């Protein structure tokens, strides 16, 4: 029997694939900024669709609800950093290009997410 989480994951993947098909049908010649937007929405649906559904409903399943919210916040930060890095102006900060700054901030978000997940996992595994 297929679990409920698997069905929700399949639904989010189908929504993401539908986004690609519909955007390709509506905009046959995707240009830079629209292509980046569709690409980021696709990945947000693939990676965060099921987490958003279960977090919004408050259902833990195999992943605790606070962990789902943390992942969604990290995913939102990565999407914003991706938009700024891809569509933002080509500035340099102390001689470092904007793309490199956004990539560095993305690594900081990733490490912060891992640290919070490890801390929460450790706290939940300790005897009370």
Average pLDDT over the chain reads 87
Q: How far apart are CA 121 and CA 128, in angstroms?
A: 14
pTM value is 0.81
Which spans in the chain are helix H? 4-26, 32-57, 65-87, 98-125
Identify the pLDDT of residue 20. Answer: 85
Percent of the chain with pLDDT over 90: 37
State CA 113 to chain mean position distance: 12
């Amino acid at each position: 029997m297929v679990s409920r989480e698997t069905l929700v994951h399949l639904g989010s993947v189908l929504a993401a694939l539908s986004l690609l098909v519909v955007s390709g049908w509506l905009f046959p010649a995707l240009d830079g900024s629209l292509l980046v937007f569709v690409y980021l929405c696709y990945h947000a649906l693939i990676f965060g669709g099921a987490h958003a559904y279960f977090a919004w409903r408050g259902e833990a399943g195999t992943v605790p609800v606070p962990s789902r919210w943390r992942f969604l916040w990290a995913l939102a930060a990565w999407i914003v950093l991706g938009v700024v890095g891809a569509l933002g102006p080509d500035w340099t900060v102390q001689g470092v290009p904007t793309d490199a700054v956004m990539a560095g901030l993305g690594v900081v978000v990733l490490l912060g997410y891992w640290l919070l997940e490890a801390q929460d996992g450790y706290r939940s595994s300790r005897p009370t």
